[in-house]
Chain A
């Protein structure tokens, strides 16, 4: 390694090929570590990195990029003197060079808190904020990458997100995400993930909501759903996923903002997305169902849309997908049932029971528990359902869980409910009194 360094320090004609050899050698982990420990190595690289010989500069940049791959924090920290130059060059015009600097920075940010601690006072956020106005897609995608790594840092909610919110970054990110289907999908993907990280920090949502994030992202989701299956670019799920997450978390804010998106096409979009992706990318199921829960939890609007658009059968088909999907499907159904008798009747007439009964036989107690909650609501608001349940063999389906600790109380309560003939509510207080003695 020392040889390589000397070859590069010597001012000879073939310095460029020496640099090339160094770069290839630096693809090796141990070489990376040895190199940074050599006296003067980084200093030399910086000298070449800031040289006015374009070839030399580019090759030195590539060497630095190789170093940035190291998972040894000591290597990242050895690169600390380079950061001010990396930032300076981000405002330059050479697209390829800027891109390289961006990805190098992004890599360094991942590994080292020391690097992040230095980059913030060095002004990385204002530099990124001016870079985001670049017209070059490759630069934007690299920029998105750096930001996405910065925003995942553990100190991000307190140290980084406030700085980002204070800049013009959020509005540009939103713009680039929403135009991502027409141009720059790669950059849109990066910034969508950035928005997701920002939204998760829960300090940002007022700003994002005031920028119109909810309607903008909703509209984007509708557009994405209309692209599939025919013209969907490969990898669309990488954009769909963070957009779903942003919508779900933004809706979970208590600011009463859901009135902005009372558009039943959102449900259509969700199910079209589910239909297209659930086999190849099963993780999409829980992401969509999370949003569906947040849409149906409070306002009845989406509950009735779910019924009137005849989407219940599709929803029920998702029950067996996974444990998480099962719980979420049943939770959404509970959201619907909780809205009252009219909803329960429609649920019952789907018919829902033939699909719920098998759910009682599933091995997971959490799924079964959620099913019991649903049945409770159904029977409460729609006594007809209770009768049909018994007729379809519901008793036996319930009894199998009588000894499961987290289920037994609810099972017994349900058995009580279905054991009573219609209108015999006077029995319930007797029953309660009797069970107090047993």
Chain B
């Protein structure tokens, strides 16, 4: 038990802070000793410590254990309370759900960033904006002939290009995007063959359906095809020589016993005891 003088808590709450008491004056510097140099080397010095300084090690361990422990106590995802089946209330969407979380996710990914012109949905507002500009802005094509209008898809990159292909090349070479990035398909030139055509002619930013037999029709255009079997997907590029991955002491990663998904309600609970 550390004994402290009384009344400290209330002094802490005093506002504003009392003006600094005048400190006793410092002595004039002592005259240099005429005899042999002193073996005492102390000089006050503010310490600046780097990431791996031994003083920090115990605290780092505690941090690591926290990350492991907090996330270990999250519940397994499978046990979601089921409700009686209900369907999405957006007209034209017939998806059915038996958990609220499933519905929430569906709604947030499919019925949020939706183009009001063509009803396609996009993973983000950013991609939606680009889509509207390139597909539904009547001036766009005209202006594109004179200046670079195709914006880079990467947030924070201000580059613009004169064609969709140039933009794609930029995405691949500068931003290391996959060549078949699903949210960058050039706009179809012809107005709509009903059969499954070559993958290249997909609309920009259309969320791809995996081709599968499902009984639920979707609000998305039936021309969109699933990617898996008939797409060219380049193999992940072999990583060039990387050297040994750095072995840090306390890599805090979510341990594999965690499966995610408590959703937005999880608040800070500190290191929790296992239930």
Contacts and interface: CB of A to CB of B under 8 A. Distances in A.
Given A9-B228, A287-B59, A381-B27, A110 B155 contact: no
B46 to A, nearest CB: 4
Given A308-B21, A429-B34, A271 B42 contact: no
Contacts of B220: 52
Interface stretch (B132-140, B187-195, B233-241): B233-241
B24 to A, nearest CB: 4
Interface in B37-66: 38-51, 54-56, 58-59, 61-63, 66
Interface size class of B (residues with CB under 8 A): 35 or more
A410 B39 contact: yes
B46 A282 contact: no
Contacts of A284: 59
B47 A23 contact: no
A93 B106 CA distance: 10
Contacts of A97: 105, 108-109
B26 A300 contact: yes
Interface in B135-174: 154-157, 174
B2 A92 contact: no
B21 A27 contact: no
A317 B50 CA distance: 28
Interface size class of A (residues with CB under 8 A): 35 or more
Given A27-B257, A126-B154, A88 B183 contact: yes
A118 B176 contact: yes
A65 B260 contact: yes
B108 A47 contact: no
Contacts of B157: 123, 126
Contacts of B251: 110-111
B87 interface: no
Contacts of B265: 138
Interface in B5-39: 5, 8-9, 11-14, 17-18, 20-21, 23-27, 30, 34-36, 38-39
Contacts of A341: 27
B44 A123 contact: no
Interface stretch (A170-178, A331-339, A384-392, A397-405): A331-339
Contacts of A431: 35
Nearest to B98: A55
Contacts of A55: 102, 105-106
B124 interface: yes
Contact of B12 (A226, A278, A339): A226
B208 interface: yes
B78 interface: yes
B211 interface: yes
A395 interface: no
B248 to A, nearest CB: 6
A89 B124 CA distance: 7
A430 to B, nearest CB: 10
Interface in A302-341: 303-305, 308-311, 313-314, 317-318, 324, 334-335, 338-341
Ranked nearest first, the 6 interchain pairs of A and B with the lowest CB-CB distance are A235-B270, A126-B156, A11-B212, A234-B270, A186-B268, A283-B58
Given A272-B12, A340-B26, 6 more contacts: A91-B124, A113-B242, A113-B246, A123-B155, A252-B48, A380-B30
23 contacts: A11-B213, A51-B209, A91-B126, A92-B123, A111-B245, A113-B246, A129-B156, A138-B262, A138-B263, A138-B264, A200-B51, A226-B13, A249-B48, A251-B46, A264-B20, A268-B11, A281-B62, A283-B59, A284-B59, A300-B23, A335-B44, A339-B24, A373-B40
